[in-house]
Amino acid sequence: MKTLRTASIALIASAGAALAADTGAVITPGPFSPPPAFPARQQPTVTPGPFDPPPAFARTNVYDWTGFYVGINGGGAFGISDWSSVPDLTSGRSDISGGQVGGTAGYNLQTGEPYVLGVEADLDWSSVHGTASPASCAPNCEIKNPWLATVRLRFGYAFGAFMPYASGGVAIGRLDANIVGTPFGTDGETNLGWTAGAGLEVALWGPLRAKVEYLHVDLNGFSCGVACAGASGGPISFNVNDNIIRAGLNYRLWTQ
């Protein structure tokens, strides 16, 4: 009996030691002891499958479009000139075309990625011209647009160094007309019209940018008297619409 009791006590002591070793000693921190440390939470590792989309990355803006700029532009124009002759009660439509070259100045404000708001003005020399052939204007009347200026708002959407944009505003141009080869002189007016179009501008390196754009220009019309109708006195009326395709280089002067 004594032997059985001794064995039971030894078995209970052994089980208690094993339990203490498994649970660890209970430590009561003092009032000035630091709090217990906890291991960092492990994030699960996710391996994408072969058909999973690539991870998304935050968009970063690599080019700031804000600032003043100046530049040059050049290209060609084609369009139509509608005409009507009072003396012989005829009307028609003539093709016009020619080249343009000039200067540009403007300012962009990148209001918040990726939107860009700007204003741009340009003044171009123009060789755009065409002929009309009413009977009162024999052998032909010639219509010319010797210069053109525009002032436009630009609304862009920047993809880093690339900015497609829409553009619209006012157009001012000179329209002249006369009878080819006669001494009746030239008649003309400086007309106010409108323009709208779109383009793409690209940052090349440093402050230098390149652009290509399309503009439609409506310069309205004017009436030509003796210079186009001779002795009949006229008038002959012209209305001019141009489609301009041009390229340009801009140099950014200042940024904020």
pLDDT digits 0-9 by tens, 97-149: 999 999 999 999 998 779 999 999 999 999 999 988 887 787 888 999 999 99
Indicate whether 43 belongs to any domain.
no
Which sign, positive or negative, has the C-alpha torsion 202, 204, 207, 210?
negative
Provide the pLDDT for residue 71: 97
Tokens of 7: 């064995």
Indicate whether 239 belongs to any domain.
yes
Indicate whether 197 belongs to any domain.
yes
Q: Give the Cα separation of 73 and 246 in Å (integer).
A: 7
Domain around 235: 67-252
Burial of 251 (0-12, 13-18, 19+ CB in 10 A): middle
Burial of 131 (0-12, 13-18, 19+ CB in 10 A): middle
Indicate whether 125 belongs to any domain.
yes
DSSP class per residue in 238-252: EEEEEEEEEEEEEEE
Closest CA to 215 of 102, 51, 109: 102
> pLDDT over 70 for what percent of the chain?
73
Q: Could you write out the three-class secondary structure of 129-198?
A: EEEECCHHHCCCEEEEEEEEEEEEEEEEECECCEEEEEEEEEEEEEEEEEECCCCCCCEEEEEEEEEEEE
pLDDT digits 0-9 by tens, 224-240: 888 887 766 678 889 99
pLDDT confidence tier of residue 55, bands split at 50, 70 and 90: low
Q: Give the Cα separation of 51 and 49 in Å (integer).
A: 5
Indicate whether 222 belongs to any domain.
yes
Burial of 249 (0-12, 13-18, 19+ CB in 10 A): middle
Three-state DSSP class for residue 1:
coil
- Judge if pTM exceeds 0.75: no
User: What's the alpha-carbon Rg for the chain, to the nearest Å?
Assistant: 40
Indicate whether 91 belongs to any domain.
yes
Tokens of 165: 């944009």
Q: Give the Cα separation of 84 and 97 in Å (integer).
A: 20
Provide the pLDDT for residue 54: 53
Indicate whether 140 belongs to any domain.
yes
Indicate whether 123 belongs to any domain.
yes
In eight-state DSSP terms, residue 225 is: -
Average pLDDT of every residue of the chain = 81
According to DSSP, the β-strands at 141-157 and 90-112 are: unpaired
**CATH code, 130:** 2.40.160.20
Number of domains within the chain: 1
DSSP class per residue in 33-69: SPPPP-PPPPPPP----TTSPPPP----------EEE
Closest CA to 165 of 206, 116, 131: 116
